[in-house]
């Protein structure tokens, strides 16, 4: 490490590695220095600063020697926006990094798994997004926060979003400037559905007296002009519904609860349900096999599973359970149950031939412990956090299960985030 100024906060470093959060890393005698948007073997001139978490970081001023893996970012906000962290890699380097990241995450838990990437996300596909806003003296900002910062980067377009969501950003910014006071902030959650956009507005400070007739009318006019199906406050209080938002799974329409969970793109959802179908076909299940879909949400995997047997869908989210009950016309069992506090017991699980386990980021450790004691023939794990997935997977591998197939999904392009689907068979 060299100083290129009399001021010790300006440094020249050679990047050693690319870390799990997509940042370059250099180590000196005092420990690591993280360099966002830097690549291994690059020589960087930058300004040293302390960021949240008491981490030392380097703000790039000049790249003295660039890596051959460096690419031009596709987004004009990339140097400031915290939404993405890996646009500066070539396609080949990016894909290699993501696959190695997945393998290393499992290796940290003592697991060496043969896996490959089944799906690569592409720009222009993301159908849901949360955007922050702040009304500043210079005008309304809507966008994403910079990494490790409370600085809000205003954007006009995002290359990852669908055209319909992108088309809404500028009108939404203009509209929010007319209804929220100066210095007010909050966020909006947008989901593109079959019948229009579902919009959840969450101002940070809100009183019910703020809901004047003028505000209701303003939201109504905005919704009509921009094909907004529904507007809620904080995904709970209905402000207006021009048309009920619907989504579709496996050809079945489901009423979409406000800001409910949905795979980020239709393409990734189809890739995951397609792989599930492929695995269930290969499993050679008995006629009318019994299939449990745990943490089922709105039924992403319940609907394709029905082709192969009798499904029981379980989740703790009341609106999602209600929507799935209505969409299924009560043709199969849909149960509201908190599987974190009250996991299915081994005795309850033993009646199933297949268990689909699709928990949120926290994983399903207690449920995995019960599964490890069962005679269920097939377990299909779907995980949006590889670390908790590895933890839960280890419980099953230490019991009577082995991995038949493992696939990775890159649903959030240009970020370190990855998801996994793993098919386990009982020995």
- Judgement on whether residues 224 and 344 belong to the same structural domain of the protein: no
CB 78 within 8 A of CB 143: no
- Residue 8's pLDDT is 53
Choose, from 81, 158, 384, 389, the residue flagged as catalytic.
Answer: 384
- Judgement on whether residues 273 and 183 belong to the same structural domain of the protein: no
- Label residue 51 exposed, middle or buried (CB < 10 Å: 0-12, 13-18, 19+): middle
Query: CA 372, 296, 112, 353: dihedral to nearest 10 degrees?
Result: 50
**CATH number for the domain harbouring residue 205:** 2.40.50.1070
Among 248, 282, 310, the domain-final residue is 248
Catalytic status, residue 81: no
Residue 87 corresponds to which tokens in the numbers above?
């646009």
Please tell me the pTM assigned to this model: 0.93
Task: Identify which of 201, 205, 256, 191 has the alpha carbon closest to the alpha carbon of residue 233.
Answer: 201
Instruction: Report the domain count for the chain.
Output: 3
Task: Classify residue 253: in a domain, yes or no.
Answer: no
- Judgement on whether residues 276 and 417 belong to the same structural domain of the protein: yes
- Judgement on whether residues 110 and 179 belong to the same structural domain of the protein: no
**CATH number for the domain harbouring residue 319:** 3.40.50.150
Among 69, 90, 111, the domain-final residue is 69
Element (DSSP H or E) covering residue 240? strand 237-241
Residues 150-174 have pLDDT tens digits of 999 999 999 999 999 999 999 999 9
Residues 233-279 have pLDDT tens digits of 999 999 999 999 999 998 899 999 999 999 999 999 999 999 999 99
pLDDT at 207 over 90: no
Task: Classify residue 278: in a domain, yes or no.
Answer: yes
Tell me the three state secondary structure of residue 169.
helix
- Judgement on whether residues 226 and 285 belong to the same structural domain of the protein: no
Beta bridge partners of 237: 233
Is the Cα torsion angle 74, 77, 78, 81 positive or negative in sign? negative
Residue 305 corresponds to which tokens in the numbers above?
């599973």
Q: Tell me the backbone φ, ψ of residue 106, rounded to 5 degrees.
A: -70, -35
Q: pLDDT tier at 191 (50, 70, 90 boundaries)?
A: very high
Tell me the three state secondary structure of residue 380.
strand
- Judgement on whether residues 63 and 205 belong to the same structural domain of the protein: no
Residues 303-362 have pLDDT tens digits of 999 999 999 999 999 999 999 999 988 789 999 999 999 999 999 999 999 999 999 999
- Residue 7's pLDDT is 46
Q: pLDDT tier at 180 (50, 70, 90 boundaries)?
A: very high
- Judgement on whether residues 267 and 208 belong to the same structural domain of the protein: no
Distance between CA atoms of residues 69 and 47, nearest Å: 23
Q: Tell me the backbone φ, ψ of residue 218, rounded to 5 degrees.
A: -65, -45
- Judgement on whether residues 337 and 273 belong to the same structural domain of the protein: yes
- Label residue 384 exposed, middle or buried (CB < 10 Å: 0-12, 13-18, 19+): buried
- Residue 309's pLDDT is 95
Task: Identify which of 96, 166, 93, 172 has the alpha carbon closest to the alpha carbon of residue 125.
Answer: 166
- Judgement on whether residues 108 and 148 belong to the same structural domain of the protein: no
- Judgement on whether residues 279 and 395 belong to the same structural domain of the protein: yes
Q: pLDDT tier at 147 (50, 70, 90 boundaries)?
A: confident
- Tokens 């949400």 correspond to 297
Task: Identify which of 257, 253, 231, 117 has the alpha carbon closest to the alpha carbon of residue 172.
Answer: 231
Residues 76-122 have pLDDT tens digits of 999 999 999 999 999 999 999 999 999 999 999 999 999 999 999 99
Residues contacting 9, CB < 8 A, separation 6+:
47, 48, 49
CB 365 within 8 A of CB 412: no
Residues 4-32 have pLDDT tens digits of 444 458 999 999 999 988 999 999 999 99
Distance between CA atoms of residues 92 and 288, nearest Å: 44
**CATH number for the domain harbouring residue 36:** 2.40.50.140
Q: Which domain holds residue 7?
A: 2-69
- Judgement on whether residues 243 and 308 belong to the same structural domain of the protein: no
Task: Identify which of 281, 301, 283 has the alpha carbon closest to the alpha carbon of residue 292.
Answer: 301
- Residue 4's pLDDT is 43
Among 215, 248, 281, the domain-final residue is 248
Q: pLDDT tier at 377 (50, 70, 90 boundaries)?
A: very high
Share of the chain above pLDDT 90, in %: 90
The number of residues making up the chain comes to 427
Distance between CA atoms of residues 310 and 331, nearest Å: 9
Q: pLDDT tier at 52 (50, 70, 90 boundaries)?
A: confident
Task: Classify residue 382: in a domain, yes or no.
Answer: yes
């Amino acid at each position: 490490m060299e100083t290129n100024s009399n001021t010790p906060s300006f440094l020249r470093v050679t990047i050693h590695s690319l870390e799990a959060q997509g940042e370059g890393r250099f180590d000196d005698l005092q420990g690591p220095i993280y360099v966002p948007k830097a690549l291994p073997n690059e020589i960087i001139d930058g300004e040293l600063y302390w960021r949240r978490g008491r981490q030392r970081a380097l703000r790039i001023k000049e790249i003295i020697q660039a890596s051959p893996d460096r690419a031009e970012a596709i987004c004009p906000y990339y140097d400031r926006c915290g939404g993405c962290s890996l646009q500066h890699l070539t396609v080949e380097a990016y894909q290699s990094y993501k696959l190695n990241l997945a393998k290393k995450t499992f290796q940290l838990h003592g697991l060496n798994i043969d896996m490959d990437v089944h799906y690569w996300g592409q720009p222009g596909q993301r159908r849901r997004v949360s955007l922050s806003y702040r009304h500043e003296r210079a005008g309304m900002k809507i966008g994403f926060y910079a990494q490790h910062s409370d600085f809000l980067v205003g954007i006009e377009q995002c290359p990852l979003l669908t055209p319909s969501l992108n088309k809404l950003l500028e009108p939404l910014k203009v509209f929010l400037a007319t209804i929220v006071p100066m210095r007010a902030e909050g966020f909006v959650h947008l989901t593109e559905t079959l019948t229009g956009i579902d919009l959840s507005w969450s101002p940070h400070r809100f009183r019910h007296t703020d809901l004047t007739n003028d505000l209701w009318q303003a939201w109504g006019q905005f919704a009509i002009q921009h094909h907004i199906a529904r507007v809620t406050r904080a995904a709970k209080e209905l402000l207006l519904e021009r048309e009920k938002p619907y989504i579709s799974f496996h050809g079945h329409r489901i009423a979409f609860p406000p800001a409910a969970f949905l795979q980020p793109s239709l393409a990734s959802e189809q890739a995951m349900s397609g792989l599930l179908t492929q695995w269930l076909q290969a499993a050679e299940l008995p006629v009318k096999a019994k299939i449990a879909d745990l943490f089922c949400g709105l039924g992403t995997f319940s609907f394709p599973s029905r082709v192969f047997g009798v499904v029981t869908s379980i989740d703790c989210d009341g609106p999602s359970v209600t929507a799935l009950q209505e969409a299924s016309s009560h043709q199969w069992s849909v149960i509201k149950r908190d599987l974190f506090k009250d996991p299915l017991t081994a005795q309850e699980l033993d009646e199933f031939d297949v268990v689909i386990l699709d928990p949120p980021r926290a994983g399903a450790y207690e449920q995995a412990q019960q599964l490890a004691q069962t005679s269920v023939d097939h377990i299909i794990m779907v995980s949006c956090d590889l670390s908790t997935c590895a933890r839960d997977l280890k419980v099953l591998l230490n019991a009577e299960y082995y991995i038949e197939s493992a696939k990775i999904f890159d649903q959030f392009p240009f970020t370190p985030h990855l998801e996994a689907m793993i098919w386990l068979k009982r020995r």
